Every structure is written in structure tokens, then in C-alpha cells.
């Protein structure tokens, strides 16, 4: 990790993003807020992918985070955005803590499909619950953030600033974790589990920790997304949402904790440009863009940055 400049880059990028909060146009603030929220989910996926696991069910935690945050505000009357984010993260982490006991034994597609099955069971439950609006979902309103009342019209900017801070902190923690002893075991597990076991480390425990962390990150992302959008619906737990996270993760590559956020921002931007300016063929445009990235940057978008840095 000689010459690793992840931390300074993370700090500069976060400061720049924070500077945008008061001044940028509302659509950009929203686009970035959504990209950062989803980026948190993708960061969790990258953590899992380091151990060679791909989850097609992160929608479970994304949806749980969004719904528990929204329900806290609308049903329990605790409409503090800070509390909502903590609740969303904790709720997702708790469920991941239970399901992880089971899922940490699974590998490859069986891991992917079992996690998908769990997310679809949550989806089914949400669709069935007409008290929560079924597929229509419901709107949520946060009234304060960390005890301070939110000024009308500025809520989205405050939530966005909150997500920048969250991204900075989690990015830092995950980066530290990945360069720690445990974090490096992840890559070893992906290469060869048996060898890791022979060396005396517990594969199960590493996978379990990564899984719970990924769940917590997805829950936090879900809560931030719910705040940014102002609405929750079961689509957050649907398999296509989970699939999208996987594709964004692959597009970005697993090279750095910064990659997920760059990748999500580009994915969201391409999609919205395609839909605004090529509404009849936006799917095809998105497909071609994805193929182009895979063809020319087989190690993900991040390799563009990494390469640029090497040549500089």
C-alpha cells in the first residue's frame, strides 16, 4: 500500500462535496444525495466481494433501513433524521446479525440466491401490508436533525450534508478495516478458503463480520435514501434494486473504498441523462454504456483513476 492516497483523496472529495451543499442546484443535490446513499450500500457489497461473495439481496437491508427510518418518524413520532439513520442502520445490522449466522456458511450463487430469497420475502411482506400502503408506499417527514429543527426548504441540503459526513466516516473506517489484518484475510478467503483455514483463521467469522457490516451499511444507505426521496415503497427491497447495486459495484471495481461512490454517481448521472434526453431508448443507452465500461476498463471505473494517478 505504498503511496496510498485514499485518505487524503477521501477528505478532499468530502470537503468539496460538503461545499456544494448550500450552493448547488436542487437537482444536483438530490442526485448526489441519492448516489451517496446508494454508494453506501455498494460499499458494503464491495466488502463482501472482497471475500468473493456477491449478494443479490442487499435490497433486504436497503428496504429495512428505509422502512424502519420512515416508520420511526411516521408511527413512533420520533421525526429526528439523526435518530432515523441510527434506527435504520441498527435495524438492518440486527437482522443481518441473525441471517448472517446462516448465510456465512454459503458460497457463490447459493449465497446470492438465498440472500435474494430473504429480500423477496421482505418484499412480499411489504406488498401484503396494506397498512403500510402496499406497493404505493408512504411519504415521510423528518422534522429535526440531531435535535435541531430543520429550516423549511433546506431539509434536503441538510440530509445531503449528513450523507457526505456519513460517507467520509464509513469510508475511513472501511478503509482502515481493509488494510487491517482481518481485512486482508478477506482477499485470502476469496483466493482459497481452505488455505486460510489451514493457517488457523476462521473463515466463517470473517465472512460473518463482513456480512453484518454490509447489512449495516445498506441499512444506513436505505435510511439516507428515504430521507432524500421523502418516500418509501417496497421496490427498495425488490430483486431488481439489489441487482442494480451489484452492477454498480462491478462497474466501480473493488479497488478502493472511493470506487463505489464514483461508480454510483456516474451510473445515476448516465441513467438520468439517458431518460431525460433519450426517453425511448434509455435502457439501451445504459446497456451500451455499461458494456463500454467493461470492455475498456475491465477492472472497473476505478482503474481509470488508479491508472491516471500512476502515469502522473
Partner 1 sequence: MSSILAILFDGVVYSSWLFMMAAGLTLIYGVMRILNIAHGSLYALGAYAAATIAGAWLAAGYAPVGSYAMLALAAVLVGVVVGPLVERGLLRRMYGQDEVVLLLVTYAAFLMLEDAIKLVWGVESKLLTEPYSLPGNFHIGALAYPRYNLVLITVAIVTGLALAWALYRTRQGKLLLAVIHDREISAAMGINVTRVYLVTFTLGSMLAGLGGALTAPTIAVSPGIGVEVIVLSFAVVVVGGLGSLGGAALGALLVGVVRSFAVRYWPEAELFTIYGVMALVLIARPKGLFSAPEARKI
Partner 2 sequence: MTRLLLAVLVALSGVSAPTVAAAQQPIKIGIVTFLSGPAAGPFGVPARNAAELMAETLNAGTVPAPYATKGLGGNPIELIIIDEAGGPQKQVAEFRNLAQRVDLIVGYISSGDCLAIAPVAEELKKLTVLFDCGTPRIFEDASYKYVFRTGPHATMDNTSAALYVLERNPNVKSIAGINQNYAWGQDSWVDFEAAMKALKPGIEVKTSQMTKLFAGQFGAEISTLLSSGADVVHSSFWGGDLEGLVLQGAPRGLFKNHLVVLSAGEPAINRLGAKIPDGTIIGARGPFGPFAPDTALSRWFRGVFQERYAVAPNYASYKMAQGILGVKTAYEKAKAGAASPNQDQIIAAFEKLSFEGPGGMVHMSLGKGHQAVMDVAVGTARTVGGELRIVDVKRYPADRVNPPEGVKSEAWIKSGFKK
Tell me how crowded residue 275 is: count the other CB atoms within 10 A of its CB. 13
Q: In angstroms, what is the minimal distance from the CB of 133 to partner 2? A: 7
Q: Which does 27 bind (CB under 5 to 8 A by kind): partner 1, partner 2, none?
A: partner 2
Rounded to whole angstroms, the Cα distance separating 261 from 242 reads 16
CA distances from 13 to 17, 68, 169, 258, 261 (A): 6, 30, 13, 9, 11
Task: Assess 49 for contact with partner 1 (CB under 8 A).
Answer: yes
Q: Contacts with partner 2 in 157-176 (CB under 8 A)? A: none
Place of cell 493457517: 199
Q: Which is nearer to partner 1, 18 or 187 (CB)?
A: 187
Cell numbers standing for residue 160: 445531503
Answer for which of 156, 166, 224, 242 binds partner 2 (CB under 8 A) is: 156
Residue 193 or 268: the one with the smaller Cβ distance to partner 2 is 268
**Which of residues 105, 188, 201, 266 is near partner 1 by CB under 8 A?**
105
> What is the distance between the alpha carbons of residues 186 and 179, in angstroms, rounded to a whole number?
10
Count the Cβ atoms, other than its own, within 10 Å of residue 116: 20
86's contact among partner 1, partner 2, none, with CB below 5 to 8 A by partner kind, is none
Question: Which of 3, 8, 25, 77 is in the footprint of partner 2 by CB under 8 A?
Answer: 25
Residue 5: exposed, middle, or buried by beta-carbon count in 10 A (0-12, 13-18, 19+)?
exposed
Opening angle at CA 275, ends 271 and 278, nearest 5: 120
Strand partners, 139: 231
Q: Check if the beta carbon of residue 62 is closer than 8 Å to that of residue 41.
A: yes
236 binds, among partner 1, partner 2, none (CB under 5 to 8 A by kind): partner 2
**Per-residue mark of binding to partner 1, 137-176 (x: CB under 8 A):** ----------------------------------------
**233 binds partner 2, rule: CB under 8 A:** yes
Q: Applying CB under 8 A, does 124 fall inside the site for partner 1?
A: yes
Q: Which of 2, 8, 23, 27 binds partner 2 (CB under 8 A)?
A: 27
Q: Check binding of 295 to partner 1 (CB under 8 A).
A: yes
C-alpha closest to that of 87 among 97, 74, 72, 76: 72
DSSP H helices, the chain, are 6-23, 26-50, 59-74, 81-103, 108-128, 155-178, 181-191, 193-198, 203-229, 239-252, 259-277, 282-296, 302-311
Phi, psi of 233 (to 5 degrees): -155, 165
- Least CB distance to partner 1 at residue 71 (A): 21
135 touches partner 2 (CB under 8 A): yes
Q: Could you tell me the three cell numbers for 94? A: 440486527
Nearer to partner 2, 159 or 208 (CB): 159
| Residue 192 lies near partner 1 (rule: CB under 8 A) | yes
> Where do contacts with partner 2 occur on this chain (CB under 8 A)?
9, 13, 16, 25-28, 30-31, 34, 127-128, 130, 133-139, 153, 156, 225, 229-231, 233, 235-236, 258, 262, 265-266, 268-269, 271-273, 275-276, 279-280, 282-283, 304-305
The binding site for partner 1 (CB under 8 A) comprises: 49, 54, 102, 105-106, 109-110, 113-114, 116-118, 120-121, 124, 127-128, 192, 194-195, 239-240, 243, 246-247, 250-251, 280-284, 286-288, 290-291, 294-295, 298
Amino acid at each position: 500500500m505504498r503511496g496510498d492516497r485514499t485518505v487524503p483523496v477521501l477528505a478532499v472529495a468530502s470537503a468539496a462535496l460538503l461545499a456544494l451543499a448550500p450552493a448547488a442546484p436542487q437537482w444536483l443535490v438530490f442526485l448526489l444525495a441519492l448516489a451517496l446513499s446508494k454508494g453506501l450500500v455498494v460499499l458494503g457489497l464491495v466488502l463482501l466481494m472482497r471475500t468473493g461473495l456477491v449478494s443479490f439481496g442487499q435490497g433486504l437491508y436497503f428496504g429495512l433501513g428505509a422502512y424502519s427510518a420512515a416508520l420511526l418518524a411516521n408511527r413512533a413520532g420520533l421525526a429526528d433524521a439523526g435518530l432515523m439513520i441510527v434506527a435504520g442502520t441498527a435495524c438492518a445490522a440486527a437482522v443481518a446479525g441473525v441471517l448472517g449466522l446462516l448465510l456465512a456458511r454459503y458460497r457463490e450463487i447459493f449465497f446470492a440466491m438465498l440472500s435474494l430469497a430473504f429480500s423477496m420475502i421482505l418484499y412480499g411482506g411489504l406488498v401484503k401490508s396494506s397498512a403500510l400502503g402496499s406497493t404505493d408506499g408512504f411519504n415521510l417527514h423528518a422534522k429535526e436533525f440531531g435535535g435541531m429543527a430543520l429550516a423549511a426548504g433546506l431539509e434536503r441540503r441538510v440530509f445531503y450534508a449528513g450523507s457526505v459526513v456519513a460517507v467520509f466516516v464509513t469510508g475511513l473506517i472501511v478503509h482502515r478495516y481493509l488494510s487491517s489484518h482481518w481485512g486482508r484475510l478477506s482477499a485470502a478467503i476469496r483466493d482459497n478458503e481452505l488455505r486460510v483455514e489451514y493457517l488457523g483463521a476462521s473463515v466463517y467469522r470473517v465472512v460473518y463480520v463482513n456480512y453484518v457490516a454490509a447489512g449495516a451499511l445498506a441499512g444506513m444507505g436505505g435510511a439516507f435514501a428515504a430521507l432524500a426521496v421523502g418516500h418509501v415503497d417496497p421496490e427498495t427491497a425488490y430483486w431488481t434494486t439489489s441487482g442494480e447495486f451489484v452492477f454498480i459495484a462491478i462497474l466501480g471495481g473493488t479497488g478502493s473504498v472511493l470506487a463505489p461512490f464514483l461508480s454510483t454517481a456516474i451510473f445515476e448521472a448516465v441513467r438520468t441523462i439517458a431518460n431525460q434526453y433519450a426517453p425511448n431508448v434509455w435502457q439501451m443507452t445504459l446497456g451500451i454504456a455499461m458494456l463500454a465500461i467493461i470492455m475498456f476498463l475491465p477492472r472497473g471505473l476505478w482503474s481509470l483513476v488508479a491508472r491516471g494517478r500512476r502515469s502522473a
